[in-house]
Structure 1
């Protein structure tokens, strides 16, 4: 279907810069751009309220922010991993994402501020993510959470980390109630039509996508080491040898997203492995729609579907 008109208008309004500002690097520009898209564009008066949001440190070294719902009974707990191509994003850029999850699910949300590349390349982000997940699992009742309803989830790069964490949790004997994967990258080394079809003009370009991969892995795509990374299931969860027994999943993809096809492929691979999957491709939307409720009613409807599906898995 055609690109959502509200999203199209938003994309037209973005001022694209071809040259770096004095003193700016590609990494600092990417970080500033994400903050502009997620913080500067928001009407602060419309931010969803959480009963409480407090900073903490998990396992002694991983910063996080904990959001607690109004409900006083033991609640589901979601360990949330933000997007940003593994090089951008923080607790503030994804504050509204966490607040909305907390509100819609009546869930405790633990938003994780994992280390970023290129200063901290792979596997630093994954190590922080899994450390946070296992630490929360051991202390979930202290957060007011229900041990039987623990989930991991995220968007974009955070969804990739979440998919890998779900695989590692299963291998390590940690039972999760659900995993939330919003437009994940699941097969870095793969070749998919959506990377060509949606390679330009839809917020995330294929060129940017490849650059993010390089910053995260610390190697050029032309380097032979890149192929080795590409086959590593800790980088490409679709390459996991056995997906049976993984936590039920909500997988959301977007029609106009370079990552669309590999996200769809991962949902299908999970389903073929006997995993319960709630999967939907959102036509007319782009990578980054999650969190664009204030821009597009269609994005808001997509977010509502995602949260309803996750709530269903969490009981």
Structure 2
């Protein structure tokens, strides 16, 4: 499918601005730029209404991190623990506020958005441990609900790591797992990485830089960031969203195939004509809003088909 015309306009606008590559900038500048971009793509749209929003701090043995909780207007007895994207380095509960509000409204779920500590100050496994602690806190704070673990981009990688931990060592049972444009191969060896690695709002060399900040020496096949090398047997039913013009497109397709081979029920939701990060474009790109709702419709279908003991 041709590149979405609104996305093409964004790419052309970025080309005129000629921003410096992420990998050449100080981390704080990268974070500021990402946050500014998230603000611009809201386009002045009114936030999705929710019943209540609250922030709190969660203490862990080596420090603390924040969570933001959204209570839905119409509560359908569900719970989503959400991990934001941003290469484990940028992004926070503010950049993904609109995403979490939309999830709460569409699914009728309490959403716990995790403000995990970020690399490079806090490399692996700190963000993963924060995510595990947040999911377990959410399950205890909102018991008896269908619990979904979800994330986009780097947050999707964290979501898988959390689900793997809970499968093997934890106490939380997830009804579903939602992974939107997940990074699955730290080597970035796919055809989509070569084809869409430049000129589509995200640069493959910047992706490599993000990986290096999170895990300075990736151990392919043994590290949680190598999702294609993980054993996914016994994982919850999973929705995987991919974007057509995304360096990580093939990662999501390969991960869906790997999970299916391990016996996981997988629903792949493609986003034709779109790029990496489309969840943050839903307020200004109609096709991104449609793709977001297709992902959530797939989650809705899973939750109405799968019975999970509480």
Asked if TM exceeds 0.5, the reply is yes
- The alpha-carbon deviation at position 56 of structure 1 amounts to 1.4
Contact 1:10 1:295 in 2 (8 A): no
* Residue 118 of structure 1 pairs with residue 120 of structure 2: yes
Query: Match of 2:265?
Result: 276
In structure 1, stretches of 5+ residues that fail to align are: 220-224
Contact 2:49 2:73 in 1 (8 A): no
- The alpha-carbon deviation at position 307 of structure 1 amounts to 0.8
Change (3 A) 1:19 1:286: closer
Query: Match of 1:287?
Result: 276
* Residue 34 of structure 1 pairs with residue 34 of structure 2: yes
Q: 1:161 aligns with which of 158, 168, 175?
A: 158
Query: Match of 2:56?
Result: 56
* Residue 313 of structure 1 pairs with residue 310 of structure 2: no
Query: 1: distance between equivalents of 2:252 and 2:45?
Result: 34
Query: 2: distance between equivalents of 1:72 and 1:122?
Result: 35
Contact 1:256 1:287 in 2 (8 A): yes
Change (3 A) 1:302 1:266: same
State the SS of the aligned residue for 2:136.
Answer: helix
Q: 2:68 aligns with which of 54, 65, 70?
A: 65
Query: Match of 1:222?
Result: none
Query: Match of 2:176?
Result: 178
State the SS of the aligned residue for 1:79.
Answer: strand
In structure 2, stretches of 5+ residues that fail to align are: 305-310
Query: 1: distance between equivalents of 2:207 and 2:26?
Result: 13
Contact 2:41 2:281 in 1 (8 A): no
Query: Match of 1:203?
Result: 201
Query: Match of 2:307?
Result: none
State the SS of the aligned residue for 1:132.
Answer: helix
* Residue 301 of structure 1 pairs with residue 298 of structure 2: no
* Residue 231 of structure 1 pairs with residue 221 of structure 2: yes
Query: 1: distance between equivalents of 2:21 and 2:3?
Result: 28
Aligned length: 297
Could you tell me the TM-score, scaled by structure 1's length? 0.89
Contact 1:59 1:131 in 2 (8 A): no
